[in-house]
């Protein structure tokens, strides 16, 4: 299944590896911060509502 | 219905909430299809060997690095002219995504350049303008963080964005202005003779669509977050005054 990358395996796999890591980091951070900020806003709005 | 209705934060959040699941689903489909197709089912290039597979991440990320800044430019101009907070916050939300795209383009370019050019880095016009664009992204994000007042931060970052646009345009056209660099000309061309072979072109198009959709999904999500964060700061400030 894995294509034969020959002598360029390091260059190709490193490129894909770095890309997957960086994209995963920005996606995870974006969701994590979205959740955190939403929870903080909900808490303040509930407090003000009471 | 006017486009400016979406400058209303509540309307923006409500609309993007409905659209986001579809954008995420399409992003996943395009990215997985394009990358699997490109990595596993395309042949090696007769000259560049298997390194041609790097094109499926290098070109889309470089494209988005430039276009993210151009999107920030449009959003900044809207802020300067019409003072819509959502547009300023959208520009702020897009910056880290653009910075990541620029990092990917620079890193994959280095990995590709080493076996092809014999060097990880060269002070080539396109590479150098890309590095400067990356520094502009960092400066833009730092400026937002450094200023407490949201409106002042939006004003100053908008001006920085206008200045940085010179480098975003240079990153795109540097290879046409100066011919002494190592970097090749445009990979994507409407000229059949110049364009890459269809066997590489079609999976590349799918990958580009995936990166564009990923950018849109992240900017929608992050803009929602920035809107909520702004409201949180405003409420806390009101509580502090009371």
Tens-digit pLDDT profile for residues B191-202: 666 677 888 899
Q: Is residue B139 a contact partner of residue B99, using CB atoms and an 8 Å limit?
A: no
Contacts of B34 (CB under 8 A, 6+ apart): B56, B203, B204, B205, B206, B207, B208, B209, B210
- Indicate the SS3 state at residue B106: helix
- Sort B91 into a burial class: Cβ within 10 Å, 0-12 / 13-18 / 19+: buried
What is chain B's length?
Answer: 242
Q: Is residue B52 a contact partner of residue B115, using CB atoms and an 8 Å limit?
A: no
- pLDDT at residue B1, as a whole number: 61
Q: Average per-residue pLDDT in chain B?
A: 90
> What is the biggest distance separating any 2 CA atoms in chain A, rounded to whole angstroms?
66
- Helices B150-177 and B85-117 sit at what angle, rounded to 10 degrees? 30
CB-closest option in A7, A34, A44 to B221? A34
Contacts of B64 (CB under 8 A, 6+ apart): B97, B98, B101, B211, B212, B215
ipTM: 0.94
The whole-angstrom separation of Cα B138 and Cα B150 is 18
- pLDDT at residue A17, as a whole number: 97
DSSP category for residue B45: B
Q: Is residue B117 a contact partner of residue B108, using CB atoms and an 8 Å limit?
A: no
- The CATH number assigned to the domain with range B19-241 reads 1.20.120
Average pLDDT for A21-38 = 98
Contacts of A49 in chain B (CB under 8 A): none
CB-closest option in B51, B57, B221 to A19? B57
- A41 with B228: Cβ contact below 8 A: yes
- A19 with B115: Cβ contact below 8 A: no
Which of A6, A12, A21, A31 to mutate: most B Cβ within 10 Å?
A: A12
CA of B31: how far to CAs of B18, B26, B132, B221, in Å?
Answer: 21, 8, 28, 18
pLDDT at A18 over 70: yes
Task: Tell whether A8 lies on the interface with B, counting CB pairs under 8 A.
Answer: yes
Contacts of A22 in chain B (CB under 8 A): 100, 103-104, 107
Q: Is residue B227 a contact partner of residue B86, using CB atoms and an 8 Å limit?
A: yes
Tokens 């490129």, located at residue: A15
Q: Which chain A residue shows the shortest CA-CA distance from B38?
A: A3
CB-closest option in B50, B96, B224 to A3? B50
- Sort B187 into a burial class: Cβ within 10 Å, 0-12 / 13-18 / 19+: middle
The whole-angstrom separation of Cα B141 and Cα B188 is 30
CA of B119: how far to CAs of A19, B111, B114, in Å?
Answer: 20, 9, 4
pLDDT at B47 over 90: no
pLDDT, tens digit (0-9, with 9 covering 90-100), for B118-138:
999 988 888 888 999 999 999
Residue B199: name the closest of B64, B60, B61, B53 by CA: B53
- pLDDT at residue B193, as a whole number: 62
pLDDT, tens digit (0-9, with 9 covering 90-100), for B134-174:
999 999 999 999 999 999 999 999 999 999 998 788 777 76
Q: Which parts of chain A fold into alpha helices (H)? A: 9-49
Task: Tell whether A33 lies on the interface with B, counting CB pairs under 8 A.
Answer: yes
- Degrees, nearest 5: CA angle B98-B210-B117: 65
Average pLDDT for B56-60 = 96
Provide the residue ranges of all domains of chain B, joining segments of one domain with +. Answer: 19-241
Q: Average per-residue pLDDT in chain A?
A: 94
């Amino acid at each position: 299944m894995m294509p034969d990358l020959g002598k360029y395996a390091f260059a190709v796999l490193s490129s894909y590896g770095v890309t997957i890591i960086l994209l995963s980091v920005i996606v995870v951070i974006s969701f994590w911060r979205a959740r955190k900020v939403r929870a903080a806003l909900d808490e303040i709005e509930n407090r003000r509502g009471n | 219905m006017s486009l400016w209705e979406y400058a209303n934060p509540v309307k923006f959040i409500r609309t993007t909430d409905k659209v986001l699941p579809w954008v995420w689903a399409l992003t996943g489909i395009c990215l997985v299809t394009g990358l699997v197709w490109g990595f596993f089912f395309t042949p090696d290039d007769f000259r560049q060997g298997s390194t041609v597979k790097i094109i499926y991440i290098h070109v889309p990320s470089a494209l988005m690095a430039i276009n993210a800044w151009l999107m920030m430019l449009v959003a900044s101009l809207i802020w300067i002219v019409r003072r819509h907070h959502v547009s300023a916050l959208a520009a702020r939300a897009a910056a880290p995504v653009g910075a990541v795209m620029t990092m990917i383009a620079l890193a994959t370019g280095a990995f590709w350049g080493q076996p092809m050019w014999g060097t990880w880095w060269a002070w080539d016009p396109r590479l150098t303008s890309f590095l400067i664009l990356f520094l502009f992204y960092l400066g833009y994000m730092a400026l937002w963080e450094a200023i407490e007042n949201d409106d002042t931060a939006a004003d100053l970052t908008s001006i920085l964005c206008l200045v940085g646009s010179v480098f975003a345009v240079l990153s795109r056209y540097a290879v046409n202005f100066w011919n002494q660099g190592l970097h090749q000309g445009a990979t994507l061309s409407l000229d059949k003779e110049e364009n890459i072979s269809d066997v590489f072109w079609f999976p590349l198009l799918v990958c580009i669509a995936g990166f564009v959709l990923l950018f849109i999904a992240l900017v929608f999500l992050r803009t929602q977050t920035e809107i909520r964060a702004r409201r949180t700061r405003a409420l806390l400030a009101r509580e502090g005054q009371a």
